[in-house]
Chain A
């Protein structure tokens, strides 16, 4: 088990290394070759002289060979920003220290907003993380009972209506659902139409935005999360219901289910301890991957509900040709996926003894 863990972690590190290399090369030397896209010309603006560009290049270290640049880049990610990075980003006090708010990070500074990439991502991550966790909770709580019941009552009215709902859930994109939800649950009750109809406005849900989570009063946070997390969850719930239903259908036909029944196990125990326990196995893999992908940014949901999450930042970064931010987000997304992948594999090995030894 320990060997297995080490092996998986080593693999993960290797994958991340390759990803840093690819993102570096893509956003660095490869983009450099494109006229008007190089970091130096982007930074110094449209009316830039050749000397000015050369100076910027030298200042940013872009005139050094790519492997040296990659080394610096990697070193900064691993050990943190160097003195030189700080000097470049912040004002040095007379005593040689930096201001407390000196904003430098391992991932560099954004081109556009004069903040460190780390700070931008840290700010966005909270939102995305909240969204992901809330949505995941909702879709699991929805899909597990529905999937199981649907499989157990195959062909019933419940099963057939579930399958229709699943089809809708999967076919309609999140911005469609999201806009409908916003219109009917946020905009309409709080508009003049509401006054015309019932003579009063209601602020049922906000039209967007995010409130930080506070332990003392989590309500504002939750209030902002309900619609986006709900809409995101619906889409995943549809997928999970379908997966779990088909898993349960095949598992409940297994010989060991018949054995459990022949032993005299009560129906609920057969379904939960023997059936569901096995049916959830493939879903664990899927769940881990989905969480990883969502932490890398739930772009459509974030944009629909005006949440400043990773996905939203990613779209902005690409639009602004903000190379450090883009590569930083790619890296964070990759880290999330690789980490979830390792966690899933380890968790799976605990859940399924058959993979433990191999």
Chain B
């Protein structure tokens, strides 16, 4: 049994302008020690997915359906108190902006100890020791001294390490990282990615990595979920997706990256802007921006997820274009791209 199995997750928000379906039928599963990447641009629903799993969306205005099975237990059926016990203990989360994610008025030690004592019935001394050990484990020098300092005395990279230490304090089975390196400089990003890579083996937890950067995906993920407008565009193993991308949005994302377009005068950009979830386009949500759009794409129902025929592993995509054209187009586009290294 998979550690985490998400089946047909659907989250709807009630807003002044009516119901908004922020994510619409997302399914995936994740084994222990695996890293799943969720890639997408703003409004793709990638962050809502993680908050839905954590049960952190406001209960009044957000409705989530489907199943989120953690070790076979459906989290969506749990009450707030049961869910609270799971948050921070079985599933932990780190966020994009380490500068604002720690409470400015408490010491780092206080916040780490709080994380420990919320879930473990241990003494203050034991919790302090655990906090200290966690700081050391994420590579923070002088952990004893650092425990007594406030977040503003830490740099961005160090704060993200504190967030990771706090997330791992209770040995969670699953770590959700929501754009953990986006706000960091590239050398700090490399440090944090290195740390996550190491922790994945040391702590043996599964990781959901939410990012907009295909580079980060290629560096540390095993599986990828490409999301667009709240739906899955393409999903599969990282090697399969990069070697045989089958959805025009994935192509566009790859073509938009300067690092994959070495020597080209122009990038293969995607026209238009990411869709507003308030008024998503009918049919395939990528259709208004898709260069391969056909009449069928604009009408309901949206294209279903289909297995990519020439891939032996699990690799699905949702596009009406016929398989042969997609094969040819992907091959043509990839041949044109030269990757900077």
Contact = CB atoms under 8 A, between A and B. Distances in A.
Q: Do chains A and B touch in the complex (CB under 8 A)?
A: yes
Interface of A: 254-256, 258-267, 274, 277-278, 281, 351-354
Contacts of B100: 254-256
Contacts of B212: none
A255 B95 contact: yes
Given A254-B100, A263-B88, A264-B87, A352 B105 contact: yes
Given A264-B89, A265-B118, A352 B104 contact: yes
A262 B88 contact: yes
A278 B151 CA distance: 14
B105 A259 contact: no
A68 B264 CA distance: 85
Nearest to A261: B56
Interface of B: 54, 56, 80-81, 84-89, 92-93, 95, 97, 100-105, 107, 114-115, 118-119, 150, 152, 163, 166
Contact of A258 (B95, B150, B166): B95
Contact of A354 (B85, B104, B163): B104
A265 B114 contact: yes
A264 B107 CA distance: 18
A281 B118 CA distance: 25
Contact of B102 (A259, A261, A262, A264): A259
Contacts of A256: 100-104
Given A254-B100, A354-B150, A264 B105 contact: no
A259 B95 contact: yes
By secondary structure, the A interface counts as helix
Contact of A274 (B56, B80, B88, B103): B103
B207 to A, nearest CB: 15
B54 A262 contact: yes
Contact of A263 (B80, B105, B115, B150): B115
Contacts of B85: 264
B101 A259 contact: yes
B88 to A, nearest CB: 3
22 contacts: A255-B95, A255-B101, A256-B102, A256-B104, A258-B95, A259-B163, A261-B56, A262-B87, A262-B88, A263-B115, A264-B84, A264-B86, A264-B87, A264-B88, A265-B88, A266-B81, A266-B84, A277-B105, A278-B104, A278-B105, A353-B150, A353-B152
A178 to B, nearest CB: 39
A351 B106 CA distance: 9
Contacts of A259: 95, 101-103, 163, 166
A261 B51 CA distance: 11
Nearest to B91: A262
A267 B93 CA distance: 17
A105 to B, nearest CB: 44
Nearest to A156: B60
B14 to A, nearest CB: 12
Contacts of B81: 266
Contacts of A274: 103
A115 B167 CA distance: 69
A129 to B, nearest CB: 31
Contacts of B92: 262-263
Contacts of B88: 262-265
Contact of B166 (A261, A263, A351, A352): A263
Given A353-B150, A354-B152, A261 B105 contact: no
Contact of B87 (A263, A278, A354): A263
B34 to A, nearest CB: 21
Given A255-B101, A259-B102, A264-B118, 6 more contacts: A263-B114, A264-B89, A265-B114, A281-B105, A353-B150, A354-B104
Given A254-B100, A256-B100, A353-B152, A262 B105 contact: no
